[in-house]
Chains A and B, each alone.
Chain A
Amino acid sequence: MLILTRRPGESLYLGDNIKLKILSVQGKQIKIGLDVPEDMTVYREEVYLKIKEQNKQALETSQQDLLAAAALWQEIESRK
């Protein structure tokens, strides 16, 4: 991993079209400003990893459990 030291107000460029600016440091929080191309997605790592894991689990559901959940939902709905 490349490690650089920056002060608030200083920026970095990743290639030609990504600018990353350190806006402020307050205690343990760092505020970062990003200028990225419009079609580029930026994810918070913890959110990205959680969704990735949930996608994986949605893939692994067995057909039997899937039908059981659908039946269960129908049962609950019919009681309403």
Chain B
Amino acid sequence: MTRLGEREVSPEGIVYFPRGLIGLEDKREFALLSVKDNNSPFLLLQCVTDPGLGLLVADPYAFLKDYDVKLENPDRKTLKIENVKQLAILVTVTIPQNKPENTTLNLQGPIVINTQARIGLQVPQTDADYPTHYRPIDG
């Protein structure tokens, strides 16, 4: 069971977060589920061990092209990066209740995933001046 109802998650679809997520350090195993269909940039980062726990995330590059995530060497080691092509970047999404037009993306705390090794890490961007409430939908 997931926040989106019953979904099947194959073991290959599970991403391991060695440090959990910020504020959720004890949750280590997540699966990425599509919210609507495959064309949507919105995904659910569903905790495998806790059905009620799923974070809404999005592909930031669907909204802004020049988003640049910096990784320090310890992060690279944790993620076991050999090649930048292995990496997927996600950001968390906040939707105020009943106000989907006010959706915001948190560009300061990207979630970086090594898609080959299936390791994930949330990497706060401290030096870049990225907002925590970037509004991708105008109107």
Q: Name A's B-contacting residues (CB within 8 A).
A: 38-41, 43-44, 47-48, 50-59, 61-63, 65-74, 76
Do A69 and B103 have beta carbons less than 8 Å apart?
yes
Q: Say which residue of A39, A51, A71, A76 sits within 8 Å of B106 (CB atoms).
A: A51
**Distance from B100 Cβ to chain A, minimum over Cβ atoms (Å):** 4
Do A58 and B55 have beta carbons less than 8 Å apart?
yes
Known contacts A38-B73, A73-B42; is-contact A54 B124 (Cβ 8 Å):
no
Q: A41 to B94, alpha carbons, bound, how many Å? A: 25
Do A76 and B57 have beta carbons less than 8 Å apart?
no
**Distance from A45 Cβ to chain B, minimum over Cβ atoms (Å):** 11
Q: A12 to B103, alpha carbons, bound, how many Å? A: 44
A-B contact pairs, 15 of them (CB 8 A): A43-B22, A47-B108, A47-B109, A47-B126, A55-B22, A58-B55, A59-B54, A59-B55, A63-B3, A65-B96, A68-B100, A69-B42, A69-B137, A74-B40, A76-B137
With an 8 A cutoff between CB atoms, is B21 at the interface?
Answer: yes
Do A58 and B137 have beta carbons less than 8 Å apart?
no
Do B124 and A47 have beta carbons less than 8 Å apart?
yes
A interface, by DSSP: helix, strand, loop or mixed? helix
With an 8 A cutoff between CB atoms, is B132 at the interface?
Answer: yes
**Distance from A16 Cβ to chain B, minimum over Cβ atoms (Å):** 19
Known contacts A48-B22, A54-B106; is-contact A61 B74 (Cβ 8 Å):
no
Other A-B contacts than A41-B74, A51-B22, 7 sampled, CB-CB below 8 A, are A50-B132, A51-B106, A51-B122, A54-B106, A55-B21, A59-B55, A73-B137
Least CB separation from A51: chain B residue: B109
Do A39 and B74 have beta carbons less than 8 Å apart?
yes
